[in-house]
Structure 1
Amino acid sequence: MIRNLLALLLATFLCTCGPAPQENGTPAAAADTAPPKIVFLTGDEEYRSEESMPMLADILERELGAETVVGYSLDSNGVIDPNNLYHVSALDELEDADLMVVFLRFRQLPADMARKITDYAESGRPIVGFRTATHSFRYTEPRDSALMVLNDEWPARVFGQQWITHHGHFADGHGRLTEVSLVDERRDSPILNGVQPFQAYSWLYHVDGGEWKLSGDSAPLLMGHSLRSQHEADGKLDQFPLDNPVAWTKTYTGESGKPARVFFTTLGHPYDFREESMRKLALNGIYWALGREADIPAGGVNADFAGPYEPNNSGFGSEYKPGMRPRTR
């Protein structure tokens, strides 16, 4: 199984990106108006994706009539445990999914679990990623050497960048650290409908500049300006400038030969989603990835909460809410 996964990933490493994603006029492929099936994969021990992604799923069920499935890192008793790096539930649901949404961080999944994620990515179906999906996996043991391609090469090809660095945590959840603005030449993108400049709690990720460049046809939508930077204090702004893209579109062409739409944002602190513009960005990006940009209103998708959203703050260890179980229908 591991040998097959490595062969597949190394083969697709040589694939080039497809044509730039079309945002106006005719979509890259005719959109299906049937209710889509959207599978969210959560599993990060820092940013409470187990709370933010179900919140988005509930809104999408209301607004799009979508069938949504949320996968979680679970312990042996079926309780959500973001610190369990070796498990994500609901991966079989990807087989007939219309969209995969990824908010994973440094997972060390068994090869058969990882293969279900990479098989989806190679299928040509759309993908949306949040923040730590640039480092969805971290394999370090010699026995996992065949999976190490997933650490850096895979996210750079699929999402546009791998994990590099950020400008510093500082007042985690107690202050806004990134000024978010619209890229002028992309203001007509339907993904930005209803999105206004705002200040995010997410500390700015470095993805472009210095020795690094976004991959493929990545086209930034939003820029972030770090309001407080350790790299500035260390005199390293030539390598890690204060301004960096925080949301972009791209395509990924895998084994299927079909260009897949990809929307990515490096934002994703649990408190960012209190901002209506952040929720609109996420929802609009999901609609666009699905080829449903014509259904995005001029003011953006209705981002009113479908239920309470009171997430815990970011942080490691036991900062997440204990005893939570996957939502039931």
Structure 2
Amino acid sequence: MYVDIVLMENLIIDFFILKVTSKLSKVKTTSLKLLIGAIPGAAYAVIVFLPSMQMFSNPSMKIAVSALMIIIAFTPNKFIEFLRIISIFYFISFAFGGAIFAVYYLSGRGTIVGSVFLIYGISLPVIVTGFAISYLLMNCCWNYVQDRLIKKRLIYNVSIEVGEKSIETNAILDTGNNLKEPISNLPVIVVEYEVMKDILPNKLVDILNSKETEFNFEKLSTIFDSSDWKIRIRLIPFSSLGKQNGMMIGIKPDSVRLTTTKYVKEVKDVIIGLYNNKISKDGEYRALLYYEILS
């Protein structure tokens, strides 16, 4: 066994594992710190093969070396941050090891002895291939999982009550939504018209079903025959991509109830903006929450 080759190979592998850990954990560090952090791991890979150093091959020693690598490379300030980074580090390490195993297994370059799959002489091309495969899969899967977790925290169940009728839908907290009704200065929750139409008056449904490109004030004025809806209807000017100086019909609900796994909040001072299109392609949420409502 060539000690210098084993040392260099493990130094490169550990450096790239730490590099990916930095990317996925979004912890800023330097390449120099990552390289220095990889040294204990590379040295350990050499030491455990020495006959006189077999006492260092126990699991507790391996965890200690991993912890030292994380501390050197990232210098976490809090223990919880340390646990998060080292968990990601092990996740990447296991994925990398599994990718190398898969490359050997699928290429038929290993030997099955009983119930054990043996690998002899791991080559640099296999290491590079395994790392590339694991990195691509982890990058795709990690981004997907992160997006799902973030989105899950931002989605609320919304119940809107108008008179004796009510509807429920899912809404996402949109930090870019700062739309307010200009007269009352109340925040606007933008909701798909299709969600709201069962609790709207027939005349308003007819107007929104027509999907006219120009806003028809004459038709809208016919809704004012109803004294109840006369005080509910609002006109909300807005601008969006591809549509300048737009006008959205809004209504004043009696109440809006926001529900999460942690709490329930009721809001009365709010306007519902009726959006005559889809808000999300997959229908996972059908309304946009104004961020100030939750404060």
TM superposition score normalised by structure 1: 0.20
Q: Indicate the structure (1 or 2) with the bigger Cα radius of gyration.
A: 2
